[in-house]
Structure formats: structure tokens, C-alpha cells
Structure 1
Amino acid sequence: MKITRFLPFAAAALLGLASCSKSDDSDANGKLEVRLMDAPGDFRSVVLDVRQVEVHLKEENDPDGWKTLGFTPQAINVLEYVNGRSALLVSEDFAPGDLKEIRLILGPDSYVIGTDGQRYDLKTPSGQTSGVKLKLDKATLRQRSTFQLLLDFDVAKSIVERGNWNPGKDKKERYLLKPVIRVVAQDLRAGIRGTVTPAAALPQILAIRSTILGPDTVSTSADASGAFQLNGLAAGTYQVQFFPSTTAPAGQAPYRNATRTGVNVTNDQITDLGSVSVQ
């Protein structure tokens, strides 16, 4: 498995990887599956206006390598896909070969709903003109096999508040979209799951693995029952951190941060942490 970090957004870019087969012989094709999941942020909704998707099948500087995909423009709320849930965006026959990168054109109607319930338009530098790109490293489709990409969109890092914004200014000028995506080739399907108590703490959860390129961090949040699951992890040893997002009711012990160290994750297996207390 190869993990690639790249700033330009592609969380919805692969929504339209359909009808890309170069061959009429379906037996010679592979299958491409694309799933979308999200690392949560401090918003009620994050809606992306996706207008056009192109895939590049040749070398980076070859202008003839781009192919426009059969994609229906749509708005996608990426916050619907957290806590181990993912959306199956594509399951299509695809001619064998290498995928080099994806280019996404965004429309003008992307926006967030803040914790204050207000809508704020998202400005996307270059996304509405030249497009934003996601490079793929060693994404090779083979005959009669399935290649799956999991796109992990990090909302907290991708949406940036303008440094000079204040409540008296136009709400449209508050946020910029500078996408951060973690891409996992799904020949590995490892994960971590567990349950947090008390569930009312609603913690944010980070799984951190040290690599030669620096920490590889994946995040999610526990649901109302306290359950959580992180998918698409590389094998290795992780530190799992828990950060309650609420305060304990009066008369109860306060919620506290918690950490589990030395969590071993093995290829194609889900590591169960059991119950983790944050009180």
C-alpha cells in the first residue's frame, strides 16, 4: 500500500470515475472502486459544489493525457461520512493501466454551516478556473482485479479562516478551502475500533503512526453511543488519543483526555481497543 499526502482537494474528484474503459472486452478490464470518508471538523455541514472531473492517464506534462469523465455535477456534504462510514462513489469496469492524477473543477456554490448555524461561502483558490489536482502514486489497475481508493478528506485542516476576518465583515469572505486529502490504496484494509465511555463526552479521536516522513495522523469522532472506527490504516504501531468535545454535567467527574500507546495494527485486520474511559 502507498499513502500519498497532497494538498489540493480530491474528496469528490473521483466521484465521476465512471465509463472510463478503453476496451470493449469486459473480461480484459479491472474494476475501480472509490470510497469517500471524512476526518471531522468543527462545522455542522461542509458542502462541496463539484462540476467536472478529469483523470490523467499519461505522464504529468503530457497535455493529451487528460480525459473528461462522465460525471453529473452535484453538491456533496462530506461530513456525512465519519466514524468508519464511507460512501461508495464508483464501482466501474476500467481498462488496465496507471492513474497519474485527478483534476477537479469546483463551482461557486461550496459552503459550510458553522456551529453558529450560519452559512459561510467557501472560496476555492484556482478550483473554479484551472482546477485542483490529486496526484496518485502507484495507482495501477490490473485485469480481472479490483483496485480501491479511499479518499480521507480532513475538514479541520482543509477549511482555513481568513486571518483578517471579523464578524462585521461579509460572511462570504470568512473561509478559504485549501484541501488536505489522505489517499489510501485499499490493498490493505486495517483499522482500529472501540467504544468511549461516557458516550456523552463525544470525543475527537486521533490515531498517530510515526513514519520516516513524519507522523501519519488519521482522525474521527465517536458517535452518540460512544462507538468509533478508523479504517484504511497502514500496518504499524499507533498512539490513539481521545479529546472530549463536551464538558461533564455538574456533580460528575470532569471529562479528561486519554491516550492509548503501543496499539499494533495488522494488515487486513481490525484492532479492537474495547472500552476507553475519558472520565
Structure 2
Amino acid sequence: MKNYRLLSLAAAATLALASCSKNADNASASAAKLEVRLTDAPGNFNAVVLDVQQIEVHDKDENDPSGWQTLVFTPQAVNVLDYVNGKSALLVNTDFAPGDLKEIRLILGPNSYVVGTDGQQYALKTPSGQTSGVKLKLDKVTLAAGSTYQLLLDFDVAKSIVERGNWKAGNDKKERYLLKPVIRLVAQDLRGGLRGTVNPAVARPQVLAIRAAITGPDTVSTFADASGAYQLNGLAAGTYQVQFFPSVAAPTGQPAYKSVVRPGITVTNNQVTDLGVTPLN
């Protein structure tokens, strides 16, 4: 991997400065820009913090270990629940040599944790088989000179955090949850989206957008927030069935919340389709 950066020599002569500036401009023009962002499909937790230590990409054949390149990244703890409904955390923004990318890998540290709805903090243990990192394959990702390419990592909290079946209150908090990351990888050229609101907002439904594809149904999900709003980004163009499943029951004496299916929803690249208000009772 090559990082192309502007050169600055404070003590150099004017001619040397001009030469450096010209070389840097040429290098920048011949480089590609790579962004890596993280977003989330929320789950039933108050916080989900990932200890992200390193991010790498692979630009050679799968079995060639020399192809792994470390990206410019500052290790950090990221609460993925801060990045829902269209928000995303910018993890990497760097110049990169043009060419094909095959895989991306996240190296997670030992300090990931969740805060449950009970307000208690629980460690997230990563199975030993994933200590080498979470690998995601890239499909036909080619970085071109002078262009920006964004990789969106869509972390699914509900599927990624697994509670041990034999855990009981009072047991060691470090033993309650396992982290088995389920991450959907979306390339930047998929820029379609869906948004809308539900009524009543207190139903807090899970929202699924399902598109038929050659490789099987492509399903993306999120939850409506406390105001009833939801947004799904990084969708391929096509026709979707959007499903709403209330996550809570209606109070006694009020009409029951209903599951709703809205078929035939069209998603177009570079546009966010607004579904308006979806009633759930």
C-alpha cells in the first residue's frame, strides 16, 4: 500500500517547494481515495462498544498472505448504536494505490462490551477462531485513480451478540455474551435507500427490506427509533418488499399493533425512497 501525502519542507528554497508541490499534486491525481465507514442495525441493548484495533485490506489472491495492507487508522472504541438510521462512523479516509481489492479485515481487541437494558455492563468474548480478525470478501471492488470509493460495514447487533444458554443472573458478567460479528458489506456504488416513519412510534418495529436476487433474497433490516423514524442505506436498485414487525405489545385496552407488509417498493441508485407514514394499528 502506498500513502500519497503532500510534502512540506519548511526550510527548503522556493524552487524546491514548488517542485515538491507539483510532485505531490501528481501523486494525488494518480491515487484513489478509500473510505471505510461503520453503521448499525440496532438491537436490544443500551450500548454496544467494539474495540477496533486495526483495519486491513487484501489486494492479492486469497491464499497470498503478502496481500494484506494495513490502513491508516487510530485504534478506538466505537459504540455502534450511535450510528443508526443513516448515520455512519468514518473509520478510514486515506489515499490508496489504484487496483482491485479482494477482502477487508477488522482486528478487534479484548475490550468490547455491551450495556444491557438493565444498565449493567457485560464483556463481549470473541471466539478463539476469530482472534485473527473478522474477514469480509469484496466483490468486484476496483479503486480508480482520482476517484473515491467507500466501503460501508453494516453491523447487525441482533445477530452478532449471542447470549450463552446456561448463563444465569449472578454469574460472571464476562461469560454472558459472545461476539460473533455478522457484518453486511456494501460498496459505495450502491447508493439507494429507503426511509419513512411508523405510527404509533412506541411500537418500535423491526423494519426489513427484502429484494429477490439470483443468489437468494437480499434482506436488510433496522429498527424504527423512538420518534418512529427509520432509514436503510446502501441498497441495490430494484424492487423490495418492506416488512414491519412491532417489537412491543400495545398497552391493555388499546388496539393491538399489527405486522405490515408493503410490496412493490422501488429503490433507485443515488436516491432515497420515502415511504411516508406506515400505520401499525
| TM score, norm. by length of structure 2 | 0.86
**Residue type of the alignment partner of 2:118:** D
Q: Aligned with 1:264: secondary structure?
A: strand
Shift of 1:277: 0.1
d(CA) in 2 for partners of 1:91, 1:72: 11
**Residue type of the alignment partner of 1:50:** V
Structure 1 residue ranges (4+ consecutive) displaced by more than 6 angstroms after TM superposition: none
Shift of 1:29: 0.9
Q: Aligned with 2:270: secondary structure?
A: coil
For the Cα contact (< 8 Å) 2:2–2:97, is it kept in 1? no
Is 1:235 equivalent to 2:243 in the alignment?
no
Shift of 1:79: 0.9
Shift of 1:88: 2.7
- Length, aligned pairs only: 262
For the Cα contact (< 8 Å) 1:37–1:87, is it kept in 2? yes
Is 1:188 equivalent to 2:182 in the alignment?
no
Shift of 1:213: 2.1
Shift of 1:97: 1.0
For the Cα contact (< 8 Å) 1:108–1:128, is it kept in 2? no
Shift of 1:102: 2.3
For the Cα contact (< 8 Å) 2:46–2:117, is it kept in 1? yes
d(CA) in 2 for partners of 1:68, 1:237: 38
Shift of 1:197: 0.9
Task: Identify which range, 19-28 or 82-91, moves more after superposition.
Answer: 19-28
- The aligned residue for residue 278 of structure 1 is 280
Query: 1:194-214: per-residue Cα shift (whole Å, max 9, x none)?
Result: 111112222221111122322
- The aligned residue for residue 3 of structure 1 is none
**Residue type of the alignment partner of 1:90:** V
Q: Aligned with 1:214: secondary structure?
A: coil
Shift of 1:127: 6.9
**Residue type of the alignment partner of 1:82:** V
Higher relative contact order (CA 8 A, sep 6+): 1
d(CA) in 2 for partners of 1:181, 1:118: 25
- The aligned residue for residue 52 of structure 2 is 50
Task: Identify which range, 123-132 or 190-199, moves more after superposition.
Answer: 123-132
Is 1:69 equivalent to 2:71 in the alignment?
yes
Query: 1:218-250: per-residue Cα shift (whole Å, max 9, x none)?
Result: 111222322211111011221111122233334
- The aligned residue for residue 206 of structure 1 is 208
- Distance 1:27-1:225 versus aligned 2 partners, 3 A rule: same
Q: Which has the higher helix share?
A: 2
- The aligned residue for residue 83 of structure 2 is 81
Residues 124-203 of structure 1: matches in 2 within 5 Å? 124-126=126-128, 129-203=131-205
d(CA) in 1 for partners of 2:190, 2:71: 27
Which of structures 1 and 2 has the bigger CA Rg? 2
**Residue type of the alignment partner of 2:127:** P
For the Cα contact (< 8 Å) 1:238–1:264, is it kept in 2? yes
Is 1:35 equivalent to 2:37 in the alignment?
yes
Instruction: Find 1:96's aligned residue among 95, 98, 102.
Output: 98
Q: Aligned with 2:254: secondary structure?
A: coil
- Distance 1:171-1:114 versus aligned 2 partners, 3 A rule: same
Q: Aligned with 1:211: secondary structure?
A: coil
- The aligned residue for residue 16 of structure 2 is none
**Unmatched segments (≥5 aa) in structure 1:** 1-17
Shift of 1:143: 0.9
- The aligned residue for residue 260 of structure 1 is 262
Percent identity over paired residues: 73
For the Cα contact (< 8 Å) 2:209–2:220, is it kept in 1? yes
| TM score, norm. by length of structure 1 | 0.86
d(CA) in 1 for partners of 2:194, 2:114: 29
